[in-house]
Amino acid sequence: MHTAKGSALKQVHNFIAGDYVASDRTFKKYSPITGEHIADIHEADKAQVDAAVRAAQAALNGPWGQMSVQARVAILEKLVDGITRRFDAFLTAECEDTGKPYALARSLDIPRGAANFKVFADLVKDVPGEYFETATPDGRGAINYSVRAPVGVVGVICPWNLPLLLLTWKVGPALACGNTVVVKPSEVTPQTAALLGDVMNEAGVPPGVFNVIHGFGPGSAGEFLTTHPGVDAITFTGETKTGAAIMQAAAIGARPVSLEMGGKNAGLIFADCDFDAAVEGTLRSAFANSGQVCLGTERVYVERPIFDRFVAALKSAAEAMHIGAPQDEATQMGPLVSQEHHAKVLSYFKLARDEGATVVTGGGVPEMPTALKGGYWIQPTIWTGLPEDARVMKEEIFGPCCHIASFDTEEEAIALANDTHYGLSTAIWTRDLARAHRVARQVRVGIAWVNAWYLRDLRTPFGGAKQSGIGREGGVHSLEFYTELKNICIKL
């Protein structure tokens, strides 16, 4: 990832076999903050994707595959140091690509990007196995024990909302387990993935272990990667429709997939909650990262006795949010990531009005200073009054918005939360511990928070139910995807 000579425009290259590689074809990257053209991204053609996969195969069968766990761990720890040492460069790249506030990326995205390597480096140091003594007819017996082997070359397809964090969430365990990877970041957020190539080289990662290819989905790098017969497994985070297409491609060759997909998550606010904490938590879950979080709360259900008070409090808090330039430390919400996504979210804002929603606040584009008018800005938006079968209540919007409805009983709240094709997360707000346990068990999701939101321990399982995904990531659960469990039987 280098700047072209004589130009301020960045050239973001592919990273194959330890080198940055240009392509004959490029596409434009626009700033979500100003709408200006800020970089040219080199789109990998089919031959370059093939070269990346072959480089990964060679590294798997060569130095990386023969390296001891201890040696791999030492390199992963150098990756942590490398990201930390270049913290400001990663911060700038992440915020240029996404438009998110520096304060958010500084406290979450970049530290977690490094921490993901540390967590899995620590994990693989002492992975438990199985050992059995087995009787045999001759009386001499046998022993059986299990070992974990790398699954092979892993295709890693990353989303644009948390580019570095979710990339290393996959690459960290993949490398810790001895795999090699070919990464396709989102076409709208390519910079931190490319920058990571330099850190890999500095840390002593052998060429071919980590490769980055840029491009789009169908007819481009995404399709070339997922259909390549040299890719042994595919991990993906993104929208459900794309995940389904990847699953179809992976069926050829019966290759395993790990899919973390969409969500239409419900927040359940009971009348006995800590009211201020519930408002603050819901504000974050609806509007953090401009609502571009798969775990975000787009459906809020509030017990009737506190409904009006809650709507008024969330409205006041949303209207007090500071929308502005990422560098401004007071900024709480930046723009949406791209012009295309901006148009999509605004189309849902119009649909909500057409379906009969009451717009409590927002619903449009904020007035911004002249220098920022070209960016993809949008207002935090709250609705009430929609029926449960409205499209806005069923389809993932992925923007800074939520609909608030009332409920009367615990059973009704659970039924409302489960009335969706998705099943990623929920946030339950109550002081009643028994109720918290009951409700958390009955809502069909992969993660249920009680009196919290986005509180993560990286050792715990993460993933979704129903159309929100297949498989679990985090801690030892990642090993189930990134390794093959092998039994060795020795006759004594």
Q: What are the residue numbers of the active site? A: 260, 294
Whose CA is closest to 428, among 305, 442, 458, 420? 442
DSSP string, 423-472: -SEEEEE-S-HHHHHHHHHHS--SEEEES-SS---TTS-B--SGGGEES-
Pairing of strands 425-429, 401-407: unpaired
- DSSP, res 323: B
Non-local CB neighbours of 270 within 8 Å, separated by 6+ positions: 303, 410, 413, 428, 429, 430, 432, 435
Sheet of 131-134: strand order equals: 131-134, 142-150, 483-491
- Contact between residue 470 and residue 257 where contact means Cβ atoms under 8 Å apart: yes
Tokens for 266?
A: 């419900």
- CA 317 – CA 284 distance, rounded (Å): 10
The residue to which tokens 């080199």 are assigned: 42
Burial call 331-344: b when 16+ CB within 10 Å, e when fewer:
bbbbbbbbeebbee
Neighbour-count burial of 105, counting CB atoms closer than 10 A to its CB (0-12 exposed, 13-18 middle, 19+ buried): buried
Tokens of 82: 């490398």
Q: What are phi and psi of 412, to 5 degrees?
A: -65, -40
What is the spatial distance between Cα 33 and Cα 42, in angstroms, rounded to a whole number? 22
| Strand order, beta sheet including 153-157 | 19-21, 14-16, 210-212, 180-184, 153-157, 233-237, 257-260, 469-470
Beta-bridge partners for 15: 20, 212
What is the rounded distance in angstroms from the CA atom of residue 208 to the CA atom of residue 231? 13
Query: Can you tell me the distance from the alpha carbon of 68 to that of 152, in angstroms, rounded to the nearest whole number?
Result: 16
CA distances from 452 to 113, 219, 262, 439 (A): 22, 42, 20, 15
